[in-house]
Structure 1
Amino acid sequence: MKKRSFLLTLKLAALTNLFFATSSIAAFKDVKFELGRALFFDKVLSGNKNISCATCHHPDLASGDAVALSIGEGGSGLGDERVLSFGKRAPRNAPALFNLRLMDDYPIFFDGRVEEVAGSNGFIASPAKDLLPEGLEDILSVQALFPLLSAVEMAGQKGSNEIADAAAKDDKVKAWNIVVNRVKNIDGYMSLFQEVYPSVKSKNDLGIQHIANALAHYEDKGYRAVDSPYDRYKEGDLTALNFEAKKGMKLFYGKAKCSQCHTGKFQTDGKFYNLAIPPVGPGKEKGLGGKEDFGRELVTKKRSDRYKFRTPTLRNVVLTGPWGHNGIFQTLEQVIDHHLNPEESLFNFNFNSFLYLDDEDPGHTVFDMTFVKENILTNHDLPRVELNHQEKGYLIEFLYALTDLNPLPREVLIPESVPSGLPVKD
């Protein structure tokens, strides 16, 4: 039986309290948000109509799924109760959605495969290259297109449905068109699209860009984290942080060197680093047996970018575990200890303690090979820092102070039903 860490249990309890906050639901009226919310929870977008965006990015789980490596297509249930019936886990952790549009120069996905090219007057690089449709509003809309094409996320395996077959042939446009055809033949959707987009006068006017823009709007408006104790402190409320959090903030921006990468308003520089994180998971079809994940190198094709992953924002970080691009860390204490001494952490990591070594998951592979670890350590980017137990406690207290105090209530974020009539609940 899987066991939750103490911090994960605490996280879920805190999140439940946050999203049951009492605020005026009636005051929140936004038809584009309602459209995006319906699409976000509607399984009709998936190849086999059995998974939605919300399955791996659920409001009750801090816009993630509370597991290390997501179970998308082929699973049932939600969060750490979700089980894999066939297929394999996703190779990476499901990233949280907080503040993505507010960080407009922030690359999307752990490897940054969707990013605005510097000095390009807004050109967005992506796996679709020149196949992106016109009318996408920004980088957040672009990212919404790609989970639809992933066999382990939403498309399904080749041979199981026509979206999966098109995606397996790398025919992105055909796969997106099939999704559009499904949606435009649902009357409840067309009325919403026509209200939100005046240019959509008939079914023939609906495009995948409209679906992506609505999804991005929901993600933006639904998952903002800008009212933390830290924010209130920065705005002049000197009582917003307690003594321990202030000590932690001083360490964060000083001795602990966290702010070398976790900088700016949302504690991220948006850049890519090799943190020598213990390798687990099915991998990305690279390296030993096709089971390694080379990270940023998969995008840039540069050997110097191997094992580098994007710096995450730390907003709501205490709610968004497990941590790391592969969810290897179950507590914030583990994360901090690894950053302080990556060599010791990597070579002494107890892979048997990893919570997701389930026999029923045929795609899950754990690496415990010395030469792989040595390769990862060769060019890691973490400075050596020494902190005592009390100082680490202060750091964690500061991380708690980055938690938003006024999120939207779950009644706003989760629809009662969706136009397709498919079940909202996983």
Structure 2
Amino acid sequence: MFRAALLILLATPCLAAELPPPLEQDDFAKHSESEITLGQLLFYDPILSGNREVSCATCHHPRFATGDGLALGVGDGGKGLGPKRVADPDNPPEARIPRNAPPLFNLSHRGVTVLFHDGRIEVDESRPSGIRTPLDADMEQGFASLLSAQTMFPVLSPDEMAGHYQENEIAKLVRQGRLTGPGGAWDAIASRVAAIPEYKARFTTAYPAIADGKPIGFTDISNAIAAFMAHEWQATDSPFDRYLRGEAALSEAQSDGLRLFYGDAGCATCHAGPLLSDMGFHAMGAPQIGPGKAAAFEDHQRDTGRMRVTGRTEDAYAFRTPMLRNVTRTGPWGHAGAHADLRAFLRDHAEPRAGLARYEDLPPLPQMDGIVDDRWALDSDERAAIADAAPEGRALTEPELDALLAFLDALTDPASISGRLGVPDSVPSGLPVAR
């Protein structure tokens, strides 16, 4: 019965885009139990951070749908978890993390070809590693996947995990530009992990090459973390997924929203395919709040998005199309988390220029002293530049917003949010686990 209803909807003339095929298990990476459970411990272990205080889970926690519930997070130099995280008065951060923590759902699907808001890591078969990153020729070999390679950046970021320049040996190596190879920052992190007997035993079980005598490297750590994320946060059982498989019907409101999403609202132009993302980059007028994204030698507070990667002016203020499973739970929304309310985000996103013009109220941000004004881009000519790069769009009515929100709620897979293994009771380093 449900399959027949789906076929009728597929034939409805008001749909401007075809519905995607269901997500298939064969399109997700597979991993052994020993690799997954090792990755779980590493994901929650602060041993990977310079000051041994921040883990991957600090900014990507299941309590907050694999984010941190903040518009712009606080990594090194923070205390607490999620929206309650604040600056540590005894060792305050030097800056906010410049972009919103992205969710971790379905990142091991073979359709994921770019990661980070600006796509600075992407699949590139012309490279020896098969992956293009800002490190180019200095890229370490041995990352098993794009998802694995992603982990190499947060551990090197002073504001995220590494700490600031003279605080610890990892931060000092980053400051010196010694990242790869023997004695580099990644090697120093791997040495910390390898010195813990339980980790040594678990790596020996998970990876035959290590059992045969290969030293534990940072790529082994990142591969294990990627295996855990791939298993823990696979989201394939939302009402929409069951609907596509012909197993269940959507409610009337959800069906109305689906017709809008794939029809007159034009959402599926970019949110296409099984993952509801074209993996492309689009300038959609999302407000910039916070410090922007600049290299150490640059003196500005702009975040030009994809242009920072390609150097092309036509990519200015373009950001990756996010995937949408569990989207109603993953706020704040936008590359800078500028919207704390999803309805308001949809309203502004539908007509980007008008939405940016009326945007005023920043979401709550942890108090930090001595940092760039969080409103800088809104109170300068930058707001106009962001708007000029965006399309006009069209306004959504209140009933249309109701319908779209109902459809987006049908993308929620509760089991994937809580995760399959959950938060471990303890980690081999003995350091505190974020709860």
TM-score normalised per structure 1:
0.88
Q: 1:178 aligns with which of 188, 193, 203?
A: 188
Equivalent residue for 2:408? 399
Distance in 1 between residues matched to 2:334 and 2:40, nearest whole Å: 27
Q: Relative to structure 1, is the Cα distance of residues 360 and 371 closer, same or farther in structure 2, using a 3 angstrom cutoff?
A: closer
Could you say what secondary structure the match of 2:209 adopts? coil
> 1:72-107 CA deviation, whole Å, 9 max, x = no partner?
000010000000121221000000000011144430
Matching of residue 158 in structure 1 with residue 159 in structure 2: no
Cα distance in 2 between the residues matched to 1:190 and 1:141? 20
In the TM superposition, residue 236 of structure 1 has moved relative to its aligned partner by 1.1
1:48 aligns with 2:58: no
1:133–1:208 Cα contact (<8 Å) kept: no
Change (3 A) 1:383 1:329: same
Given that residues 84 and 360 in structure 1 are in contact (C-alpha distance below 8 angstroms), is that contact kept between their aligned partners in structure 2?
A: no
Give the conservation status (yes or no) of the 8 Å contact 1:100–1:106. no
Distance 1:409 1:344, change over 3 A: closer
Which of 247, 251, 272 matches 1:263? Answer: 272
Shift of 1:53: 0.4
Aligned-pair identity (%) = 37
| Corresponding residue for residue 315 of structure 1 | 325
What is residue 376 of structure 1 aligned with on the other side?
386
> Alpha-carbon deviations, 1:30-89, whole Å to 9, x = none?
221110011001111100001000000011111110000010000010000000121221
Deviations 1:360-410 (A, max 9, x none): 473452123352111112221x45223211111000000000011433755
Instruction: Check if 1:300 corresponds to 2:310.
Output: yes
- 388 and 288 in structure 1: CA distance in 2 versus 1, 3 angstrom threshold: farther
Does the CA-based 8 Å contact 1:116-1:122 persist in structure 2?
A: no
Amino acid at match of 2:266: K
Tell me the residue number matched to 1:149: 156
Residue 135 of structure 1 and its aligned partner are, at CA, apart by 2.1
**How much does 1:300 deviate?**
0.8
| CA displacement 1:166-223 (0-9 Å, x = unmatched) | 1122221100000011011000100000000111137762111110100100110001
Contact 2:65–2:417 under 8 Å retained in 1: no
Mapped to 1, the partners of 2:212 and 2:47 lie a distance apart of 20
Give the length in aligned residue pairs. 396
Is 1:243 aligned with 2:252?
yes
CA contact (8 A) 1:91 1:284 kept: yes
The root-mean-square deviation of aligned C-alpha atoms, in Å, is 2.2
How far off its partner does 1:129 sit?
1.4
Corresponding letter in the other structure for 1:136: F
Alignment match, 1:233? 243
Cα deviation for residue 349 of structure 1 reads 1.2
Letter in 2 for 1:94: A
- Residue 88 (structure 2) pairs with residue 81 (structure 1): no
For structure 1, the 5+ residue unaligned runs are: 1-27
Mapped to 1, the partners of 2:84 and 2:76 lie a distance apart of 15
Q: Partners in 2 of 1:150 and 1:109 — Cα distance? A: 14
Three-state SS of the structure 1 residue aligned to 2:109 is: coil
- Is the contact between residue 46 and residue 154 of structure 1 (CA under 8 Å) also seen in structure 2? yes
Looking at structure 2, the residues matched to 118 and 333 of structure 1 have their Cα atoms a distance apart, in angstroms, of 39
Matches within 5 A, 1:11-160: 30-85=33-88, 86-87=92-93, 88-117=95-124, 123-160=130-167
Say if 1:176 and 1:29 are closer, same or farther in 2 by CA, change over 3 A. Answer: closer
Asked if 1 retains the 8 angstrom alpha-carbon contact of 2:427 and 2:433, the reply is yes
Instruction: Report the Cα offset of residue 133 of structure 1.
Output: 2.6
For residues 277-313 of structure 1, the C-alpha deviation after alignment (integer angstroms, 9 at most, x for no partner) is: 1121111127995111111111111122111110000
- The one-letter code sitting in structure 2 at the alignment partner of 1:97 is L
Distance 1:297 1:366 in 2: 22
Q: Is the 8 A contact 2:87 2:368 kept in 1?
A: no
The letter for the 2-side match of 1:375 is A
Where 1:115 maps in the other structure, the secondary structure is strand
Q: Distance in 2 between matches of 1:257 and 1:199?
A: 49
Amino acid at match of 2:104: L
Within the candidate set 410, 414, 434, 1:425 is matched to: 434
The question of whether the paired residues in 2 share the 8 Å contact of 1:128 and 1:172 is answered with no
2:199 is aligned with 1:189: yes
> Do the aligned residues in 2 keep the contact of 1:190 with 1:203 (CA within 8 Å)?
no
Change (3 A) 1:80 1:364: farther
Q: Tell me how far 1:346 sits from its aligned partner.
A: 1.2
Mapped to 2, the partners of 1:140 and 1:170 lie a distance apart of 23
Counterpart residue identity of residue 111, structure 1: D
Look up the equivalent residue of 2:82 and give its one-letter code: G
Match of 1:278 in 2: 287
Distance 1:166 1:203, change over 3 A: farther
How far is the alpha carbon of 1:122 from its aligned partner? 6.8
What is the CA–CA distance in structure 2 between the aligned matches of 1:331 and 1:295, rounded to whole Å?
Answer: 23
Partners of 1:359 and 1:143 lie apart in 2 by 28
